[in-house]
Structure 1
């Protein structure tokens, strides 16, 4: 689709990270479709920034596999590739397994309550077909564990590979298959509350690794 004409409501003092996240999210949510050409001048005008942070963001997005950049030529949104999704799924699943191992010993009752609330919102969103809210609630639930783990290297790896997986997840949470995650979340929370690190880690891994890469 063309660059949106509406004002995205971003401050002109936008930081590089904000530019990157805005463009990344536009690719993940389908605003920019696979194969669509991205022109830094048009993107800069849309975001109300100079071309420099846009170019830097496109380089990061290329590193993450979300765009295909050809120096001196065009930059396009990457197609959803089965192999890319499978690879990202394997890495992200392993990182969430690690997050659980590091987080469970330090989780508080407040953390567990946040996870339960997130899964209630997740279930309601999946059942109503609200993909955006399902993804937000899913992020909130798993984010408790990632934050509690406090592992910066883990954060950086997830930052790089999760967007690729999220593009495929939009298909899952928009289908009946997404309902399986509700039960997986319930079991994950139960095991975390019981302090069962090994089984909780296994459930976390399976939850992420069960995303069908063939849907990409």
Structure 2
């Protein structure tokens, strides 16, 4: 039950149904989700560990503000993890691996063409995880999964900050680099995304005033 409660509350926070700063009362959440307070408390502990809620000792629990510095750190680590996999995978990549990653790149391209922020985030995590799985590095896949909620939440609240032409150029270049089995080019494409395109997106969101709530 705590897994189900965690998944439902995480999705509500990421989608914005539960807004930054909104207070979370375990008895209300239990009634809303049709469960007892114990699974809710376990779910809130996990959400706090992932930076999605803040638990004030002897006070209250609330949806955490969107911390753009934390988002920047998550994006940096995501890029480092992915590039690390590329270094190990590309020199030994097989035909079926190329076909698998190309299919994932095509999924990503379709989401970008339709300007689907949620679909793009899902596809981006899928292809990064795909590299980790080909490498046989479960630890990388776990880290990517843990970074996902922070990055997904940012994307849902910052849709207008995305420069889709640059992201589309990334998807095209990524597919070409994978098909060419070119490790250097694949890393270069990822460096552009994680050192230029995504940080600039975060900067634009900050200027525009993404939902950051710090008051008690």
TM-score range, shorter chain: 0.7 to 0.9
- In structure 2, the CA distance between the partners of 1:155 and 1:119, relative to structure 1 (3 Å rule), is closer
Q: Give the structure 1 partner of residue 136 of structure 2.
A: 150
Counterpart contact for 1:98–1:201, Cα < 8 Å:
no
- In structure 2, the CA distance between the partners of 1:46 and 1:34, relative to structure 1 (3 Å rule), is same
Q: Give the structure 1 partner of residue 194 of structure 2.
A: 208
Q: Give the structure 1 partner of residue 63 of structure 2.
A: 77
Q: Structure 1 stretch 120-129 or stretch 84-93: which is displaced more?
A: 120-129
Q: Secondary structure at the match of 1:162?
A: helix
The two structures have a TM-score, normalised by structure 2, of: 0.77
Counterpart contact for 2:117–2:155, Cα < 8 Å:
no
- In structure 2, the CA distance between the partners of 1:33 and 1:97, relative to structure 1 (3 Å rule), is same
Task: For 2:3 and 2:135, locate their aligned partners in 1 and report how far apart those are by CA, in whole Å.
Answer: 23
Task: For 1:122 and 1:72, locate their aligned partners in 2 and report how far apart those are by CA, in whole Å.
Answer: 44
- In structure 2, the CA distance between the partners of 1:37 and 1:150, relative to structure 1 (3 Å rule), is farther
Q: Structure 1 stretch 178-187 or stretch 76-85: which is displaced more?
A: 178-187
Give, in angstroms, the shift of residue 175 of structure 1.
5.2
- In structure 2, the CA distance between the partners of 1:140 and 1:180, relative to structure 1 (3 Å rule), is same
Out of 14, 34, 40, the position equivalent to 1:48 is: 34
Give, in angstroms, the shift of residue 40 of structure 1.
1.8
Give, in angstroms, the shift of residue 130 of structure 1.
3.1
**Is the counterpart of residue 37 in structure 1 residue 26 in structure 2?**
no
Task: For 1:19 and 1:198, locate their aligned partners in 2 and report how far apart those are by CA, in whole Å.
Answer: 43
**Is the counterpart of residue 122 in structure 1 residue 122 in structure 2?**
no
Task: For 1:183 and 1:174, locate their aligned partners in 2 and report how far apart those are by CA, in whole Å.
Answer: 18
Counterpart contact for 2:174–2:189, Cα < 8 Å:
yes
Give, in angstroms, the shift of residue 69 of structure 1.
0.8
Counterpart contact for 1:96–1:205, Cα < 8 Å:
no
User: Which consecutive unaligned segments of at least 5 residues does structure 2 have?
Assistant: 207-216
Give, in angstroms, the shift of residue 34 of structure 1.
0.8
Out of 61, 69, 86, the position equivalent to 2:47 is: 61
Counterpart contact for 2:71–2:154, Cα < 8 Å:
yes
Equivalent residues in 2 for 1:181-192, closer than 5 Å? 181-192=167-178
The two structures have a TM-score, normalised by structure 1, of: 0.77
- In structure 2, the CA distance between the partners of 1:88 and 1:134, relative to structure 1 (3 Å rule), is closer
Q: Give the structure 2 partner of residue 99 of structure 1.
A: 85
Give, in angstroms, the shift of residue 86 of structure 1.
1.6
- In structure 2, the CA distance between the partners of 1:83 and 1:188, relative to structure 1 (3 Å rule), is same
Q: Give the structure 2 partner of residue 11 of structure 1.
A: none
Task: For 2:9 and 2:166, locate their aligned partners in 1 and report how far apart those are by CA, in whole Å.
Answer: 30
Across the two proteins, how many residue pairs are aligned to each other?
202
Counterpart contact for 2:27–2:37, Cα < 8 Å:
yes
Q: Give the structure 2 partner of residue 27 of structure 1.
A: 13
User: Which consecutive unaligned segments of at least 5 residues does structure 1 have?
Assistant: 1-13
